[in-house]
Amino acid sequence: MELELQKLSIMLLDPTITDQQLTDELLFLKDFAVRSVFVLPYNVGRAKQLLAGTKIQIGSYADFPLGGGTLAKKAFETGKLYREGASEVCVAMTPDQLTYCGQQSYQNLAPLSFGHNRLGFFIDSSQLNEQQKQQLTMDLSAMDVNHVSLGLDLTMEEAIYDMSIFRMGRKNQRTFQVNVKAPTLLEIELLFQAGASQIGLSNGREILPLISKWD
């Protein structure tokens, strides 16, 4: 089974999570070689501190969750996240921003990621209809952005459907992370088969011990 931990990201984005709960979740993750953990911007420093000494990347989102801010706002938040310890930043973008200034935005934001691991765009695909998704697929095909993060807490059906559309316009080196609510082992495998490069999941405590048995 193609269930490598290095293709998984753990999503700790619940705004109601307490500091103690966050601490417990991050300490639990230290025993598993997942690719990354995504936290809300104000938790980046804490995550970096608790995961020191591991290879787990710290990820977060700029202009999150709506993505309607100006380019200056996105740039300010992106730079701040990198300075506070994030190695992966996904910038939330609206459909209109991607259509009319997506490439320009990426070119302006990309220098902020020098010396860090990754800069990508986040698209809340759950708020888009099929026509919008197809339009964004065409828009993305003309951009240099190397990584796209799709949705949050998607159902399995939504995730498979999104990948069936967005993978059609992917460039060879572009990666897609699809973020699913609580996938099973079989569903994770099916998402990889559908074209996902990485999978973001929120049920790390339940699924990671099962996956690690296959390594």
* For residue 45, pLDDT beyond 60: yes
pLDDT band, residue 169 (cuts 50/70/90) = low
The whole-number pLDDT of residue 215 equals 55
Q: Is the peptide bond before 209 cis (omega within 30 degrees of 0)?
A: no
Instruction: Outline where the chain has alpha helix (H).
Output: 19-29, 44-50, 71-84, 95-109, 130-141, 156-166, 185-193, 204-212
Q: What letters, b where the CB count within 10 A reaches 16 and e where it falls short, cover 81-91?
A: bbebbbbbbbb
Report the share of the chain in percent with pLDDT over 70: 96
Report the share of the chain in percent with pLDDT over 90: 80
Mean pLDDT: which of 73-77, 116-120, 139-143 is highest?
73-77
DSSP 169: G
The whole-number pLDDT of residue 105 equals 96
Residue 29 tokens, joined: 């993750």
pLDDT tens for residues 179-194?
999 999 999 999 999 9
The whole-number pLDDT of residue 73 equals 97
The whole-number pLDDT of residue 127 equals 87
Query: What domains sit in the chain, N to C, each tagged with a CATH number?
Result: 5-212 (3.20.20.70)
pLDDT band, residue 133 (cuts 50/70/90) = very high
pLDDT tens for residues 5-29?
899 999 999 999 999 999 999 999 9
Rounded to two decimals, the pTM is: 0.92
